[in-house]
Amino acid sequence: MNSTKQRLTAWLIAGALAGTLSGCSSANTNTDLSQTDNSFDGTVITLADEGVLVDGQAASTDSSSKVYVSNDIIYYEEGKDDSYGEGSTADEHSAEEAAKHTVVNITEPGNYSVSGSLSYGQILIDLGEDANENPEAVVNLTLNNVNLTSTVSSAIVALNAYECSAESAAEPSKDVDTADAGFNLILADDSVNVINGSHVAKIYKEETTKKKYKFDGAIESKVSMNINGEEKGNGQLTVNADNEGIETYMHLTINGGVLTVNSADDSLNANEDNISVITINGGTITCDAGNGEEGDGIDSNGWIVISGGTIIASANPSSMDSGVDSDLGIYINGGTLLASGNMYDEIAAESAQNFIVLNFTEKQHEEDLIVLKNSDDEAIAAFYAVNDYTVLVYSSDQLAEGDYTAAKAASVTGELNGSIYTKISDADITAQLEYSTSGGRGMGHGGFGMKPEGMNEDDLKKPDGEKDENRMGKPEGDMKEPPENGGEMSQGLPDFNGQDDDSEKLTSFTLSKGGTFLYSVAEQK
């Protein structure tokens, strides 16, 4: 086992133990194995290393049961040759490690409430190979104080269930309705849930090179899925992933809950090329893709549509990735977004909500507090990122048209949601930010107001590269490390390394309808 794999495995196990010893107990997890939730209209599953209960009784091992337990987890086996799959040594696991895992198999549609802890386990939803076309093949899985760890595979997998968007895939659109999705993950009010998951590299079908299995996320869905909160909307879910965080093969819609996703690649991912849509309508979501070598905060191989909620999305600080990244367009129509990374992925001109983009000349640090003030010198918002960055995007319904300034602060007093402050009563300003007038100006409705001299439309688009199943449009080669100067490689933003020292500097900017780009942002000298 190499050092990277040892570190990731230790991280997953430590996360499980920490949740078992403190996280679940602090959330009043039910550890009385004789007790069930009689108020729940459905099947109650209680996880425990000593044994899994279903409606208060020991879980069946009969595969014909609607819920049964087994030890046949899908994982990438060690010691196989190239005919087995595309995994590396780092993806391999021993049979002994896999055998530690208890798989909780859900085989019938319905409502399921899960609580308790498994140090080595997986929840697998498999409603049969014909489920994809059956509108009744729907599982509603409520997490009610769950601590679940898998060190060899995804911790939650929806393998076969109804695909609500199969017909619309012929005519893809950013406007999708996943209300009838076959997999719904629900966060119970007042619950604290921790999912620690691994991944499965591509395994071939026998005697072919066609894919049989490939799970990239700690939570993996082969069909469109929804994440919902209950009435209070305060149910918490933390996902710790040694690869991607939450992944769907089609669409992902988030309507509520408090989500924190820590990943070694993309935190949220929807990977059907030119079809998938990630839609966010509510909730508080923090995406930290900084635990590996690369990764976007939110990545869709189709569209991203944000209409509500509070989203803090941070890319890996050491790679050319974005806080929000899509292949077909990013639309911000509501909510609050703070996205940071080392590359800018263009926000669609048709977005209904205003935004600003800051392109810094030097790497900014995650703890750096930035304060926005309006023309009346009132602080309307302040924020800090999850990881270091050179490009920052901020959007909120508080961004009205008008004049603004931005500054760094040592501290802020206000209402904190995630890493975004509002209702600010005091800000200890330490440095004013200034912007170069070279190359750009305020832009109308999300598109460039003017193109920098010498650039054409193609220069403003995302660089193309050879795509794989989960990542499109990434430049290939040795450009993994971001430059010290944020303008050099930031997508859609020109290089100001060679600008004249006497170029005009401004400390205020005007936000017109749509959005504003601020180039070569630096602290005032």
Q: Is residue 121 part of a domain?
A: yes
Q: Is the pLDDT of residue 81 over 70?
A: yes
- Give residue 515's pLDDT: 78
Query: What is the per-residue pLDDT across 51-75, written as a single tens digit (0 to 9) for each?
Result: 999 999 999 999 999 999 999 999 9
Q: Is residue 341 part of a domain?
A: no
Instruction: List 241's β-bridge partners, or say none.
Output: 197
- Give residue 367's pLDDT: 92
- Give residue 29's pLDDT: 31
Find the domain containing 180 and state its range. 3-26+42-264
Q: Is the pLDDT of residue 116 over 50?
A: yes
Q: Quote helix, strand, coil % in the chain, to nearest 5.
A: 10, 40, 50
Q: Is residue 81 part of a domain?
A: yes
- Report the mean per-residue pLDDT for the chain: 84
- Give residue 458's pLDDT: 41
Work out how many domains the chain is built from and give that number. 1
- Report the percent of the chain where pLDDT is more than 90: 73
Residue 28's pLDDT band (cuts 50, 70, 90): very low
Residue 505's pLDDT band (cuts 50, 70, 90): confident
Query: pTM of the predicted model, to two decimals?
Result: 0.85
**For the residues 357-376, what does the mean pLDDT come to?**
94
Q: Is the pLDDT of residue 289 over 50?
A: yes
Q: Is residue 11 part of a domain?
A: yes
- Give residue 476's pLDDT: 35
Query: How far apart are the C-alpha atoms of 125 and 233, rounded to whole Å?
Result: 24
Instruction: List 196's β-bridge partners, or say none.
Output: 149, 240
Q: Is residue 332 part of a domain?
A: no
Q: Is residue 73 part of a domain?
A: yes
**For the residues 214-230, what does the mean pLDDT come to?**
98
The angle formed by the CA atoms of residues 16, 20 and 23, to the nearest 5 degrees, is 100
Query: How far apart are the C-alpha atoms of 241 and 217, rounded to whole Å?
Result: 7
Residues in the chain: 525
Q: Please answer whether residues 188 and 142 qualify as being in contact, where contact means their C-beta atoms are separated by less than 8 angstroms.
A: yes
Q: Is the pLDDT of residue 123 over 60?
A: yes
Query: How far apart are the C-alpha atoms of 105 and 108, rounded to whole Å?
Result: 9
- Give residue 503's pLDDT: 58
Query: What is the per-residue pLDDT across 223-267, written as a single tens digit (0 to 9) for each?
Result: 999 999 999 999 999 999 999 999 999 999 999 999 999 999 999
Instruction: List 523's β-bridge partners, or say none.
Output: 433
Q: Is residue 124 part of a domain?
A: yes
Residue 470's pLDDT band (cuts 50, 70, 90): very low
Q: Is the pLDDT of residue 214 over 80?
A: yes
Identity (one letter) of the amino acid at 207? E
- Give residue 492's pLDDT: 44
Q: Is residue 52 part of a domain?
A: yes
**For the residues 284-293, what does the mean pLDDT come to?**
97
Query: What is the per-residue pLDDT across 137-187, written as a single tens digit (0 to 9) for each?
Result: 999 999 999 999 999 999 999 999 999 998 777 889 999 999 999 999 999
Q: Left (φ > 0), alpha (ψ -120 to 50) or beta: where does 439 sit? A: left
Q: Please answer whether residues 276 and 299 qualify as being in contact, where contact means their C-beta atoms are separated by less than 8 angstroms.
A: no
